Amino acid sequence: MRVHEFAKQHNLVNKQLIEALHKEGFDIKSHMSVLSEQAIVYLEKTFLNKSFEKQASEKKQIAPVVAQEQVKPEVLAPIEAKKVIQSSAQKRPIVSKFKSKPVVQAEPEKALPILIEAMTVGKFASLAKLSLSSVILTLLKEGKPCSVNHLLSEDEVEHLCKTYELEFFAASPQKKDLLAGKVELSLENTQTRLPVVVVMGHVDHGKTTLLDFIRKTRVAAKEKGGITQHLGAYQVKTKHGKLVFLDTPGHEAFSKIRKRGASVADIAILMIAADDGIMPQTVESIKAIKALGMTVIVAINKIDRVDEQRIEVIKRQLTQHDLLPEEWGGQIMVVPISAKEGKNVDHLLEMISLQAEMMDLKASTTATVQGYVLESKMLKGRGSVATVLCRQGILKVGDYFKAGSVTGKVTSLTDSAGTVLKEVGPSIPVQITGFSELPPVGSLFDVIQEAEYRALKNDAPKTSEMAARLSISDDAQKFNVILKADMHSSLEAIVDGLKKIPQTVVKEIVVLRSGIGNITESDALLAESTGATIIGFSVKAEQSAVSVARNAEVAIHLFDIIYKLFEKFEELAAREKVIKTVLTKIGQATVLKVFNIKKLGVIAGCIVNDGRFSAKGIIAIVRGRKELARGKIKSLQRDKKSVKEVHTGFECGFIVEGFEDWQIDDIAECYIDIAA
């Protein structure tokens, strides 16, 4: 029996059981750890035997003695308490006898460098590849009693890194601002908050299908091309409690969106399709999860398509990325599911809830509101809209705020179900209107005073246009484009994708203008004056823009699926590319007769001795060993008919632009441009 199963069976709290087992010396790592027979007997005596509780309450005088040894007297009989005291004294010495040094030496080669920032004890132990009990005991010996969710300051984290001889680094202020949730969270007046769960993995592995089953919706069926292309945030009510889910796109172009979603979440669900296995974006997701030190639960999806042996293959693949399943002695929960049929989804939700319970997530409701911009877009009739996830405080309609360099006043709050709210607390994603312009995705969201808002309002630079030259080269061929997209993150993904197009296709891409919203007449006029191509993603072209583009022969290309956009872009760029050519000799002829025809010019009558003559060729006139001139063929004829080519052994006549001084026995050499 596992810890959480015992807790569920007897209506107890997992955290309370684990703390009691730790104090008794049992090696229990988490709520998923398997209980031994001795541990079960101890828990039954401690929490279930009423007679022990009654006897303990009648003899309270034993309480001070037992308390010294950290044993709860109210749940043990006097005889049992004495046994515990004796066994505890025999098993381990008193804390005060220890010197202040770590019990277990870390293995630096296995731990990644740690970012010095405020974090919980549990997160530090996970990043440092140390057992939780080792870290807690080390802090206790230094006079700092704490639990798994105790928040360590930056100085304490740095001290622990030095104690365990771990590599560490301090982030610059700019980098801290880019990391979601890395805001100074208040520890005053905290309340339990909802867990934020990000679903990550490769494209078409069932992330959105899983959320569809949980939310009883059909979002995946509506996605263009059957793939998610935006970051979705949803609050879901389950029988295991309320949860907040972030749905991330799996296509390689959206790597920044995946990292952004992971950085604000508490728990990561790594989706792996059983019939596909670990793929490139799965590996990328694993790296992001490890870098952030997140708690991860692996969901092996599409088990309805494969046999059970395939699940074991996926588990072996996980071990290659240092993710050891619990049933194999590791700490990674692995849940085989079928998102389409809903098989084992309830068990997955139970595991998420249990993990959230162990993390004891808290947030202050009285502190100043601080949050994170997940997504931003333009909506008709509402203007600039952003999806924001608050980390602390209560956000209300009428609050003034700043997000990066953008300011505004909250005019409306709408949750993921479309319900209009007057205020919202931590961990609940909401759409906010009232931005002066589109805020940059990934920016911190802060509520400010009206005076600060008015001071910043006039100084805020415009950020809606993302014009940028992607590469610079003095002699490179340029390909001008105008980009329009439905959301800020989509535009970001497209610009990043253009940077990755090989220079063999086009050397320099110049984004003359980029923005959010439909293609306008202004975009078409700019394209006309610069010779640019207009590319739109999940947007429409306004009628006025279409009219201008049609008259000016400006190309407008609209896309709903990002990989098709990149395919078409490479095709368009290659079409504009200047092809290097080499002038190559393809034929030689001897002049037999010369004809001077009025209104036409001088015609050289020849026989082709070698190769061929082309109507698009350039003729070099050679007399003796000297080249007299060169010129393009103006007209090529055979048997008084215009032809494109004349081959060896045939007679022909042609006129060369700019040359009429032909003589019999002159040699004519034909050249054409051939791509290098």
Which of 496 and 394 is assigned the larger pLDDT?
A: 394
User: In degrees rounded to 5, what are phi and psi of residue 533?
Assistant: -100, 135
- What's the fold here for domain 194-360? Rossmann fold (3.40.50)
3-state secondary structure (DSSP) of residue 24: helix
- Asked if 426 and 193 touch (Cβ cutoff 8 Å), the reply is yes
Q: What is the largest CA-CA distance in the chain?
A: 134
| The dihedral sign for the CA sequence 574, 575, 580, 584 | positive
For the beta carbon of residue 525, count every other beta carbon within 10 angstroms. 16
Domain with CATH 2.40.30.10 in the chain: 364-457, 581-675
Helices 562-576 and 488-499: angle between axes, nearest 10 degrees: 40
pLDDT above 90 covers what percent of the chain? 10
**Residue 68: what pLDDT?**
38
Amino acid 675: pLDDT:
62
The answer on pLDDT for 538 being more than 90 is no
In angstroms, the CA 93 to CA 20 distance is 19
Phi-psi region of 293 (alpha: psi -120 to 50; beta: other; left: phi over 0): left
Q: Which long-range contacts (CB under 8 A, 24 or more apart) does 97-100 make?
A: 98/141, 99/141, 100/141, 100/142
> For residues 671 and 154, which has the higher predicted lDDT (pLDDT)?
671
**pLDDT level of residue 45 (50, 70, 90 thresholds):** confident
Of the listed ranges 111-120, 127-136, 527-536, the least confidently predicted one is 111-120
Residues 285 and 299 sit within 8 Å (Cβ to Cβ): no
- 581-675: CATH superfamily: Translation factors (2.40.30.10)
Q: What is the pLDDT of residue 50?
A: 46
The average confidence (pLDDT) of the chain is: 75
Ranges for all domains in the chain classified under CATH 3.40.50.10050? 468-576
How high is the pLDDT of residue 606? 93
Question: Are the C-beta atoms of 479 and 510 separated by less than 8 Å?
Answer: yes
Q: What is the pLDDT at residue 669?
A: 93
DSSP character for 76? Answer: S
Contact 288, 258 (CB under 8 A): yes
Least confident residue range of 192-196, 201-205, 357-361, 606-610:
201-205
Asked if 441 and 248 count as a contact pair (C-beta separation under 8 A), the reply is: no
Sorted by sequence, the CB contacts under 8 Å of residue 290 that are 6+ apart come out as: 112, 322
| Of 59-68, 339-348, 525-534, minimum mean pLDDT range | 59-68
User: Which pLDDT score, from 0 to 100, does residue 607 have?
Assistant: 93
Higher pLDDT, 628 or 226: 628
pLDDT of 79 higher than 50: no
pLDDT of res. 471: 37
Q: What is the mean pLDDT of residues 336-344?
A: 88
Looking at residue 93, its pLDDT comes to: 41
- Could you read off the pLDDT of 384-393 as tens digits, one per residue? 788 888 888 8
* pLDDT score at 62: 40
Report how far residue 39's alpha carbon sits from residue 41's, in angstroms, rounded to the nearest whole number.
5
Mean pLDDT of 69-88: 41
Mean pLDDT, rounded, for 42-56 = 63
Quick check: 334 pLDDT over 80? yes
Q: What is the mean predicted confidence (pLDDT) over 123-135? A: 82
CATH top class, domain 468-576: alpha beta
Nearby residues of 433 by Cβ (< 8 Å), 6 or more positions away: 382, 383, 384, 385, 410, 411, 412
For domain 364-457, give the fold.
Answer: Elongation Factor Tu (Ef-tu); domain 3 (2.40.30)
Is residue 149 over pLDDT 90?
no
User: In the Cβ-directed half-sphere of 80, how many Cα atoms lie within 13 Å?
Assistant: 19
Q: What is the pLDDT of residue 570?
A: 67
Cα(336)–Cα(348) distance, integer angstroms: 9
* pLDDT of 667 over the 90 cut: yes
Q: 1-5, 209-213, 488-492, 635-639: which has the minimum mean pLDDT?
A: 488-492
pLDDT of the residue at 75: 40
Q: Any idea which of 135-149, 458-472, 591-605 has the lowest mean pLDDT?
A: 458-472
Q: Residue 503: pLDDT band by 50, 70, 90 thresholds? A: low
Q: With pLDDT > 70 as the criterion, what percentage of the chain qualifies?
A: 74
Q: Which pLDDT score, from 0 to 100, does residue 676 have?
A: 52
Calculate the alpha carbon distances from 265 to 201, 251, 410 in Å.
15, 20, 24
Residue 4 pLDDT exceeds 50: yes
pLDDT tens by residue, 249-287: 533 433 455 455 556 778 888 889 888 888 887 888 888
Q: Which residue has the higher pLDDT, 161 or 115?
A: 161
Please, where in the chain does CATH 3.40.50.300 lie?
A: 194-360
